[in-house]
Amino acid sequence: MWKSRWLTAAVFLTCLAPAIWLAREWYENRLGVNPIEYVARYSGRWTLRLLLITLAITPIRRIVTPLAPIVRFRRMIGLFTFGYGAFHGWHYFARDAQWYWEIIMEDLTYRRFFVAGAIALVLMLPLAVTSFDAAVRWLGGARWRLLHRLVYFSAISAIIHFLWQGKGWNPDPVKYGLILAILLGARFILWLRKR
């Protein structure tokens, strides 16, 4: 079952579905009165959601043994996470800031939520680049695992980015932060048991 091409295709299409939905909304001109903000928030949320799903795979496969083969989809979901994050970043540069480097440098210097978002995205880049088998062989298993612990810091930075961008109270980043805290706590408990 877990090695079925149909299941792999289903996971792929599920990860792709948010992008397809956004493209349809754009094509039908249904992005609201502020499409730039809509796309930014939409792509950012899906980046964070997929990042949390990626982090959930290891605890799930260790706690629920029959679901252990789910790990084979972690790379795919992780690459989709980076893809949505890269689109989120590109959208800011191309649509929001329109490649005005004075604005970009000001945002990345004085606006703290931009700094947190940039850190989250930059930390995802080496994970995406080294997500292939050849990179694991080249780095060695131990160094590869150590490098990929950057995902924790990327997730924390993403939550901070989400939390700081709002001008008023927004419970959503708090909810995502609690999910991240639970996932990190579960990983820590599993690490202690292994020790």
Number of H helices, E strands in the chain: 9, 0
Model confidence at 76, pLDDT cuts 50, 70, 90, reads very high
DSSP category for residue 99: T
Residues 40, 92: Cα–Cα separation, whole Å: 7
pTM (global) more than 0.85: yes
pLDDT tens string 59-71: 898 888 888 888 8
pLDDT given for residue 130 in this prediction: 93
pLDDT given for residue 55 in this prediction: 95
Residue 136: how many other CB atoms lie within 10 Å = 15
